[in-house]
Amino acid sequence: MASLARHSRMALLLLLGMGFPVLSPVPASAQLDANPLSYHLLARERLSTKNYTVVTPGPGCNVGVVNHGGLLTTDSSSFSMAAGTQIVADDCSGAGGNIGECFCNTGGSNFSETCSSWTPPLLGDASDAAFIAACDLLPGDAFPTPCSAGTQTVVIEKNADCAPLSLDSNPGNNQCDLVAGDYDVIDLEKAGTLQLNGTYTVNAYESGKNTTLIVLGSTTLNVCSDAGLSFADKGSINASCGEFRVNYAGTGVVNMGNKQGTITMDLCAPFAEKLRLRRGNTLEGHFFAQAISSDHSNIGRCCGAAVNACLCFGALDGSGCVSPGETVSLTDVAGITDVSICGSAASCTSTGVDEIDCVVPSVPAGSSCEIEVTGTGGTSLVPASLNICP
């Protein structure tokens, strides 16, 4: 790419992996963010945490309780959220900690920031349908209504293919590469390895300790029955942001992790008795449930978000604007495939693992341009505007 007289560098805060446009950043005046895809943890009725830490800065990566009377409790000495994030609940009387922005009608005095009042429900409607509609903004297949599974049971033992072998798409490699489809039970036994790729609808998904779950490409797991659901008890889930959607239609308890590394998924459990986030995990993505309880030492992270958000112009005249034909550098943007500025496609060249240089296309002078990025997690609007010189 030709060297240009003025070069702008921008570390852009993105919500890739959400597939839902964020129209503007949350301003300093603290306007409540009601976009479901801006929420990392979203409970319908109650949410409790111990020393949970949300490390991805906002806008987005919020924690909230949807309904009127919704209760939030935290360990005020060790609960923390990154700058620009929001915490939202009707009742925060048992909550406190170091946070970004706060919206609470009751309590909240133990937070580091002053809380604003708001009018629940967060989704504008407390119905099952409204919560499921929020879930269906997530990547992957829609929540199954009704949920209907198959009759075949699949067993995966340590260092073994699928049993029965006819359901293994790549037999002989000491793991179960399960063909997509409808099943009664997927039984992933202790230390077994399962690979999923496609859509699976089951009555029950059972997982023992020290298992490995590998997700290839866009994959949805629908679980229909009221039996409980468990993932990654001292095991691992290998998935990329925005690729693994889990729809749990039952009323049991969902257990997530236990001394696990990173769990990356988008979970919808609108009727579950509880989503229990067990200790010592890094949870990446969206976790939506009737009720959420987090044990200690968990870290929350949102997909596709940059660690550093900065609009840093290197302009010779310090004008704070760019002209068509000049270059904008986008950093912390791994996975981006297309960029448009003011609705026009921009010509971009990769300059690093997570950096691309884009030439500003021919757009009207004096414009304030939205930048739209498309990547592995979908299409999003960057929560910052690019000013075109008059």
Domains in the chain (CATH in brackets) are 7-16+307-387 (2.60.40.10), 36-142+264-303 (no CATH)
**What's the mean pLDDT in 280-304?**
91
Residue type, 267: L
Whether pLDDT at 196 is above 90: yes
Given this model, what pLDDT does residue 133 score? 95
Given this model, what pLDDT does residue 194 score? 97
- The answer to whether 56 and 300 have CB atoms below 8 angstroms apart is yes
Strands 355-359 and 347-352: antiparallel
Return the closest-CA partner of residue 257 out of 281, 229, 293, 227: 281
**What's the mean pLDDT in 223-246?**
89
Tell me the average pLDDT of the chain: 83
Q: Which of 81-85, 124-128, 313-317, 383-387 has the lowest mean pLDDT?
A: 313-317
Return the closest-CA partner of residue 139 out of 284, 244, 283, 287: 244
Return the DSSP state at 331: E
DSSP H or E segment with residue 133: helix 128-135
Residue 375: pLDDT band with limits 50, 70, 90: low
Please enumerate in sequence order all residues whose Cβ is within 8 A of that of 1, keeping only pairs 6 or more positions apart, or say none.
327, 349, 357, 359
Distance in angstroms (rounded) separating the CA atoms of residues 277 and 300: 11
Return the DSSP state at 322: B
Question: Residue 65 forms beta bridges with which residues?
Answer: 43
Select the more confidently predicted residue: 351 or 9: 351
CB burial of 280-297 (b: ≥16 within 10 Å; e: otherwise) equals: ebbbbbbbbbbbbbbbee
Helix/strand/coil percent split, the chain, to 5? 5, 50, 50
CB burial of 318-357 (b: ≥16 within 10 Å; e: otherwise) equals: eeebbbbebbbbbbbbbbbeebbbbeeebebeeeeeebbb
Return the DSSP state at 192: B
Given this model, what pLDDT does residue 15 score? 29
**What's the mean pLDDT in 41-70?**
93
Return the closest-CA partner of residue 253 out of 222, 284, 230: 230
Look-up: residue for tokens 């293994």?
168
Given this model, what pLDDT does residue 29 score? 54
Most confident among 6-20, 112-126, 229-243 (mean pLDDT): 112-126
Rounded to two decimals, the pTM is 0.73
Given this model, what pLDDT does residue 17 score? 32
Share of the chain above pLDDT 70, in %: 82
Select the more confidently predicted residue: 295 or 22: 295
Whether pLDDT at 54 is above 60: yes
Return the closest-CA partner of residue 33 out of 67, 59, 70: 59
The angle subtended at Cα 176 by Cα 233 and Cα 246, nearest 5°, is: 55
Given this model, what pLDDT does residue 308 score? 30
Share of the chain above pLDDT 90, in %: 56
3 state DSSP class of 165: helix
**What's the mean pLDDT in 327-354?**
75
**CB half-sphere exposure, 247, CA atoms < 13 A:** 29
Whether pLDDT at 332 is above 80: no
Given this model, what pLDDT does residue 334 score? 53
- Tens of pLDDT, residue by residue over 128-165, are 999 999 999 999 999 999 999 999 999 999 999 999 99
C-beta neighbour count of 40 within 10 angstroms: 25
222-to-62, 142, 283, 377 alpha-carbon distances in Å: 25, 9, 20, 20
**What's the mean pLDDT in 186-214?**
95
Given this model, what pLDDT does residue 9 score? 33
The counts of H helices and E strands in the chain are 1, 35
Sign of the dihedral through C-alpha 315, 316, 322, 328: negative
C-beta neighbour count of 364 within 10 angstroms: 10
Given this model, what pLDDT does residue 379 score? 60
Return the closest-CA partner of residue 110 out of 68, 64, 72, 69: 72
